[in-house]
A and B are shown apart, each in its own frame.
Chain A
Amino acid sequence: MSADTVFVAGRGAVSGFGAGCGTLLDGLWAGRTAVQPRRRTAGWNVPTAVAAEFPDGVVPAHDRALHAAALAAREALAEAGEPPRGDLLLVLASTKADLSGVVDRGEGLGQPWRLARRLAASLGTGGPTVAVSCACASGLVALSTAARRLAAGEHERALVVGVDVLHEFVLAGFGCISALDPGACRPFDRARRGVSLGEGAGAVLLTRHARESLGVQLAGHGGANDACHVTGPDREGRGLALAAARALAHAGIGTADVDVVHLHGTATPANDTTEALGLVALFGGRTPPAFGGKAQTGHTLGAAGLLETIAALEALRRGSAPANVALDEPDVAAGLDLVRSERPLPRARCALKVASGFGGIQAAVVLQR
């Protein structure tokens, strides 16, 4: 273990399952889904019947992004034993943050730095505030951004929070580019037709101190760009594989050391196909057991990287990978070992988590027990 090792000390989550990491993880491992007929958003004219909305009462009707982010952040801080706030780095990941001022009155302006400052004030984090907006890879890029600063000794701890809430702007946008499934999404399935969106907030407290660890370290991180298209993936998933390879190299390990993969798995035909191709090529023809969660939480955009890193971490802690929900007939590269029912992984020590975003941005992190 080197001096620049970064550990996970706390986790927090708000998702379509409700508030709390336990609620999220129990839902994922039980095979439930929060993607349900739209209720709060039912009046919006968008081409899908479903979304993973926060259950009623979890966050107030106004300022949903701030309240959800704060709720997840406070859970992570509590699990980490309420670390001192004076030098606490806050890194926020979000795509649209608070859209007030763009679609109605307000001052959010869709600019994540504004939400980050308000969140920092609400939590009293004390240290610098950084806002990352890298499309659907925001969460993993935010983890990398925080880990880089901790490893360099700039801070002792960092609170990384990802958040996005549902808005007609975003649902309609995904709809008009034909990226939404009219029903519930089905990642990696032959019948997949696109994304189901969800709202979420995830938080991870990172620390340089082994004694504060939950027993898992953020051992590596890496990034890449497809450099081929702003909305479509590289046809062979080369950028995603490159980001993953860089994360493994940063962790000082090889593909043979990875026990489980947490997928991006948006359920668009192109994303799932190319993700599978890239990972199968990276792992030399056969991946470790692989699972994703967007059929259960919806695609939570800026929160996805955090919520899904928490799920990957849980796979190491529980020693099992949950089933890929809504997967009846896989039609991606056969070498992607998609988990079909909960798979025991009693000796799992290493998880790889990957993400992709518009702009060709690819990111990966490696977690190790």
Chain B
Amino acid sequence: MNSVPVLAAAALLDAERLVGTDGTRTSWSDLGVPAPGDGRTFRAVFGRGDETFRRLDVASRALVLAAEALGLPRVLPAAHHDRTAIVLATTLGCLDADRQFAQSLGAEMLDAPVFPYTLPSTCLGELALRHGLRGAGVCLSVAPDDGGAGFAEAVRLLATGEADAVVAGVVDVSRADPATCAVTLALLAAPRLGLPSLAPWRGDPFAAVRAALLP
């Protein structure tokens, strides 16, 4: 049985741009905001609103933008959403949110809205609820040299049959340092789903994503 997953969609958000296989191609300089955007960026890029985008922490915003650029509704039939997992890897985690909440410890009022985002997995939940993805969730905290761990775990979930598809990737975002912003996402699917492949999934996963996005 072929256990190599199909790369069905991809998106990349970095210090310069947001690109996705839904056709999104925009740069922060075009938008006039530093990476990874602000509370208005979702509407500015996709031309429609997102009810709660503005209140999200910076990592969740970046992930939601990148996931939208995957074009999930077009690529992944709703019938597969129950068995679509999310696997994220992050080195920075939620450091921005942590520091924001920590600062409020010495203030008169605690920053209650930011507390749920002091977990690196909360952005995973924001993605799941927006797209109705009810598969397993895995958030890995990884060293800087281990960014591919999330993709590898996604492949395991597909190989064991625990998931039919996985939104997998890396989320490392810091408002303090826009130059480090990096979200790389791939929608990996089991071959039996019959989704078209954008690029071969072998070797370096980051190279495969780039091949799908920047031919």
Contacts and interface: CB of A to CB of B under 8 A. Distances in A.
B33 interface: no
A231 B102 contact: no
B135 A225 contact: yes
Interface in A214-250: 222-231, 239, 242-243, 246, 250
A111 B91 CA distance: 7
B213 to A, nearest CB: 26
Contacts of B118: 96, 110, 169, 173
Interface residues of B, number: 50
A95 B119 contact: yes
Nearest to B146: A113
Interface string A197-226: 000000000000000000000000011111
Contacts of A177: 112, 115-116
A130 interface: yes
A225 B136 contact: yes
B176 to A, nearest CB: 13
A358 interface: yes
A103 B105 contact: yes
A130 B140 contact: yes
B143 A102 contact: no
A359 B119 contact: yes
Contacts of A49: none
B137 A360 contact: yes
B162 interface: yes
A131 B139 CA distance: 9
Contacts of B110: 172-173, 175-176
A288 interface: no
Nearest to B109: A176
B123 to A, nearest CB: 8
A345 B28 CA distance: 62
B139 A110 contact: no
A133 B82 CA distance: 22
A109 interface: yes
A134 B138 contact: yes
Given A176-B110, A224-B134, A361-B121, A131 B140 contact: yes
Contacts, number: 164
Interface in A163-199: 168-169, 172-177
Contacts of B19: none
Contact of A358 (B98, B102, B125, B143): B125
B160 A151 contact: yes
Interface size class of A (residues with CB under 8 A): 35 or more
Contact of B86 (A117, A151, A225, A228): A225
A102 B112 contact: no
B78 to A, nearest CB: 12
Contacts of A239: 134
A172 B101 CA distance: 10
A225 B137 contact: yes
B122 interface: yes
A358 B136 contact: no
A148 interface: yes
Contact of A152 (B86, B115, B160): B160
Contacts of A174: 115
**Residue of A224, A227, A243 ringed by the most chain B CB atoms within 10 A:** A227
Interface string A92-113: 0001110100110000011111
B120 interface: yes
Given A176-B110, A358-B125, A230 B102 contact: no
Interface in B126-150: 126, 128-129, 131-143, 146, 149
Contacts of A359: 119, 121-126, 128, 137, 139
A109 B97 CA distance: 12
B85 interface: yes
Contacts of A66: none
Given A102-B98, A173-B118, A230 B125 contact: yes
Interface string B55-95: 00000000000000000000000000010011000011111
26 contacts: A103-B102, A103-B105, A109-B95, A109-B98, A110-B98, A111-B95, A131-B141, A132-B140, A133-B119, A135-B119, A145-B138, A145-B153, A148-B160, A152-B156, A173-B101, A177-B112, A222-B136, A222-B162, A223-B137, A224-B135, A228-B129, A230-B125, A239-B134, A242-B82, A246-B162, A358-B121
Interface of B: 82, 85-86, 91-95, 98-99, 101-102, 105, 110-112, 115-116, 118-126, 128-129, 131-143, 146, 149, 153, 156-157, 159-160, 162
Interface of A: 95-97, 99, 102-103, 109-113, 116-117, 130-135, 137, 141, 144-145, 148-149, 151-152, 168-169, 172-177, 222-231, 239, 242-243, 246, 250, 357-361, 363
